[in-house]
Amino acid sequence: MERLQAGIRKGRFMVLGRAGMDLFADPPGTASDHAETFRADLGGSSANICAGLCKLGLRAALVTSLSDDNVGRFCLNRLRHYGVETDHVRVLGGEHRVSLAVYESRMDAFQVCIYRNNAVDFQVTEADIDRVDPAGFGALITAGTVLAAEPSRSATFHAFERARAAGLPVIFDIDYRPYSWPSPQVASEVLTRAGAQSDLVVGNDEEFDFMAGGPGRGRDMARTLAAEGRMVIYKMGAGGAVTFAEGREIATGIYPVTALKPVGAGDSFIAGLLAALAEGRPLREAVLRGSACAAIVVSRPGCAPAMPDTPALEAFLAAHPGPTDPEDPAPQA
């Protein structure tokens, strides 16, 4: 646990995973089916985490592949716009393409369509990992989607090995997306293996249930992972979260908001959590600041552009009558 905390406090992160283009119907409330205008910005779990970290004053370098076309260049430019380090982004020719997500800024009848055929981010190789010097980073972050196919799966586990050899802790967001995997059995096996090799594991109750093999088993799995020396954050949506660390179970609530869309919260939670821990804040406060970041993102259009900077986060915390009591859904005064 000390290694995890020390690594996070360095404030510079090596992040594995995808960057993509998001198209979201405009104005808010418009269904994609009838939209005449779409806004475009950066998307993809790992890219969103990077953008969130940078907005909160930390440093993040994304390790991924982008396609050698106008969409790939768009993503590269948006990464740089948010301050993400792109020295380890490899541009590939050929038929592999950047992921595209088309969605809406509405909760009722929300729709999302994600195009990931021949996804270029799955083409990250062990050689790409070897070109990154881990010594300059405090921790490695990855989202589970990167493990769904080869060669990026092997490259990710190779990155875990290199991180451990360099003394870097591994931060793992389960981020289970069924459509990316060849089968649930493969996904469960690989994600469980990744969790066992990580120092901090973050996921929601459904993801932990899936890894544990069935409904209702996830919390016990989270406890088991924590008992082996990890920090584990078990998220339950409106029910808040339970953080398992050093023999403690810390229950926290959420910051209720009028949500504009249901996507982006998990990426922003990770960024807010790590930024708070990097500042040396207590664990419970860090989790709550992550929850506040998640609440901000679901109340704004887009994902990367919705991530708060530090002044926006502080203003939200000062004005919001939360968080909820995890034992009582009513907001606290």
Query: Residue 332 pLDDT > 50, yes or no?
Result: no
pLDDT-derived band at 333 (thresholds 50, 70, 90) equals very low
Burial class (CB in 10 A: 0-12, 13-18, 19+), 91: middle
Q: Which residues of 202-239 are buried (b: 16+ CB within 10 A; e: fewer)?
A: bbbbebbbbbbeeeeebbebbeebbeeebbbbbbbeee
Question: Domain 2-314 is in which class?
Answer: alpha beta
Q: Which residues contact 81 (CB under 8 A, 6 or more apart)?
A: 42
Q: Assign residue 177 a region: left if phi > 0, alpha if psi is -120 to 50, beta otherwise?
A: beta
Is this structure's pTM higher than 0.85?
Answer: yes
pLDDT of 327 > 90? The answer is no
CA distance linking residue 205 with residue 234, whole number of Å: 6
Give the HSE-up count for residue 118: Cα atoms under 13 Å, Cβ half-sphere. 7
Prior bond of 308 cis (ω within 30°): no
What residues contact 143, with CB distance under 8 A and at least 6 apart? 16, 17, 18, 45, 46, 49, 173, 175
Strands 20-26 and 99-103 turn out to be: parallel
pLDDT tens digits for 292-301? 999 999 999 9
Res. 329 pLDDT band, cuts 50 70 90: low
Rounded Cα gap, residues 218 and 309, in angstroms? 33
Tens of pLDDT, residue by residue over 124-157, are 999 999 999 999 999 999 999 999 999 999 999 9
Alpha-carbon distance 163 to 247, whole Å?
25
| Domain range annotation of the chain | 2-314
Look at residue 32 and give its three-state secondary structure: helix
- Tokens found for residue 148: 């769904």
Task: Dump pLDDT digits (tens) for 63-110.
Answer: 999 999 999 999 999 999 999 999 999 999 999 999 999 999 999 999
